[in-house]
Structure 1
Amino acid sequence: MELCLAISPGELTRAEQKILDYINTNTDAFLFSSIGQLARRLGLSDATVSRFARHVGCTDFKELKSLVVEQAAGPAAKMAGTLSQDGGFSPIAWLERQQLYLQKTAQQLDQVEFDRAADALVSARRIFLHGKNASSSLANMLAFRLRRLGLPVSLLPSGGSELLEGLLQAEEQDLVVMFSFSKLSREGRVILDHSKTVGYQTLAFVSRTCIPPEEQADISLFAYRGEEKEYHSMSAPTALLDVLTVAVTERLGQRGSDSLERLHQLKTSYFPLG
């Protein structure tokens, strides 16, 4: 990254230019360094680092880090921004923050859209799930939950030509579920575009409230994951998948209960101690 300052680099001392160069070329390491660690790494004093922070318009080293977080991008910057909140990391404060995320998700929940999602899962001839990177864990969890209820579920490959080979199996009356939180991926665009030709329905889990029409799935469910510069939590999306599973189970009625009972009998027969 290239840190934008309120002063010209020419106004910096040689030691300050050394600090700036380190921030620009080792942003992730800087974000996770204390003032003492940074000073020792660069062979400078803590006071020199403090003066640099004030010289570039920050009140202290902590504010300098916040400035870098605002301008940086990537998972390290998000994690550093999260750790710097509320005066430092606290597991209790983190868990309380997740409660806030759940509340925001609940406030944004569209009951009509949620019902459409549950109905689509129950009525689909086949269900295809696509998740990549961190979202792959959500796709796997949803596949596990739905498969136990006896629903026909398949996991699509995360990308490349293998995704196309899997997507080739999706037809009309099928449902393709995708996770499209911060932005629509290239694979997501393929899924939405191909649905126009084939006619399968699409369900997307999103964390944006304003989505361009061309990026919208047939059904969308919102889950709040934190601010743009924060570490993006999976607490709310996971809870949303769980409540959707419960709603699907309710709709399946005896059909779902029978599937769970058959699974229990198989476990008892083959893995009696499991």
Structure 2
Amino acid sequence: MTLQFPRMPEQITKAESRILDYISNNPEEFLLSSIGEVGEKLDVSGTTISRFVRRLGCGDYKELKRLVADQNISEGPAAKLMQTLHSEEAFTVNNWFLRQQMYLQKTLEGLEQEEFQKAVSALCSAHRVFIHAKSASSSLGQLLMFRLRRLGIQSVLLPSGGSEVLEGLSQAKAGDLVIMFSFSKLSQEGKMILGYRKEAGYQTLTFISRAFVPEEERADIQLFAYRGEAKEYHSMTAPAALVDALVVAVSEQMGEASVENLSHLYHMKKTYAPNR
């Protein structure tokens, strides 16, 4: 849900970004929550929320609630695409690439470096890597699996949906890593993956585009990638760049082992597939 405010500050803090993200993605829950309850959930003070409310141009918390309640915004892929196309005077490839630069910058600002390093270490130490990606994210899952296999990391692509996910997930054990792409909301398959991790003992890593994620939807490791506002066409530029950055960092940490794996693959191709 994309909200319109009397004014939007040019610069907002990480705490304010969490507040805005929470309100946009959980409007019904927000409308039923007091300022203290929201502050406790987001780990920010009531003073911070009140100050941000005023920076948005609202007189107080109650006025912000009325604004959220009154707005009825169209959703869905078609509406998002139309919103993106009409956000500029005319679409040009130059404007589009400039926008992607902004998405990459926002990703860099929202990405926790400690989480990124945890992801690198988890991939390097994992016995096996299971990847779940569906819909538009399936291309990212394929890319990640391809890159990891070239480094000699055993990677498996889980079925995209339904009970078949459980059939693949049943093979995951302690020492394995399960990766999923859960940008705007947690899918039913994502709930299965998080729900089964305690019993199986595997670690979880998720790619998100939300500044706030409820505790029950949190993976062990979370990597943030900005894809645009809720009502915009959702770009895959930043997530794809983040996948490649992760693979390069893993390769560097593996050191000579990654070079040996790539060299071995190269010689196999020369020997057994000379025409390729």
TM band (smaller chain):
0.7 to 0.9
In structure 2, the partner of 1:149 is 151
Q: After TM superposition, which residue ranges in structure 1, 4 or more long, deviate above 2 angstroms?
A: 270-274
Equivalent-residue separation in structure 1 for 2:90 and 2:187 (angstroms): 33
Q: Which residue is equivalent to 1:25?
A: none
Corresponding residue for residue 97 of structure 1: 99
The alignment status of 1:87 with 2:120, answered yes or no, reads: no
Unaligned runs of 5+ in 1: 1-69
Alignment match, 1:11:
none
2:175 aligns with 173
1:230 aligns with 2:232: yes
DSSP-derived class of the 1:102 partner: helix
Higher relative contact order (CA 8 A, sep 6+): 2
**2:266 aligned with 1:267, yes or no?**
no
Task: Give CA-to-partner distance per residue, 1:177-221, whole Å, 9 cap, x none.
Answer: 000001000100110000021110000000001110000000000
Q: Work out the CA distance in 2 between the residues paired with 1:270 and 1:94.
A: 43
SS of residue matched to 2:91: coil
Write the deviation string for residues 96-153 of structure 1: whole angstroms up to 9, x where unpaired: 1000000000111211110000000010011000000001110000000000000010
AA at the equivalent of 2:170: L
Shift of 1:88: 2.1
- What is the alpha-carbon distance in structure 1 between the residues aligned to residue 191 and residue 252 of structure 2? 32
C-alpha RMSD of the superposition: 0.9
Percent of aligned positions with the same letter in both sequences?
A: 57
Q: Partner of 2:135 in structure 1?
A: 133
Paired residue type of 1:232: H
The TM-score normalised by the length of structure 2 is 0.73
Instruction: State the TM-score, normalizing by the size of structure 1.
Output: 0.73
Q: Please name the residue that 1:74 is paired with.
A: 76
Shift of 1:266: 1.1
- Alignment-derived partner of residue 190 in structure 2: 188
Q: Which runs of 5+ in 2 are unaligned?
A: 1-71
Which amino acid is 2:265 matched to?
L
2:122 partner amino acid: A
Greater C-alpha Rg: 1
Aligned counterparts of 2:235 and 2:175: Cα–Cα separation in 1: 33
State which of 194, 201, 204 in structure 2 corresponds to 1:202.
204
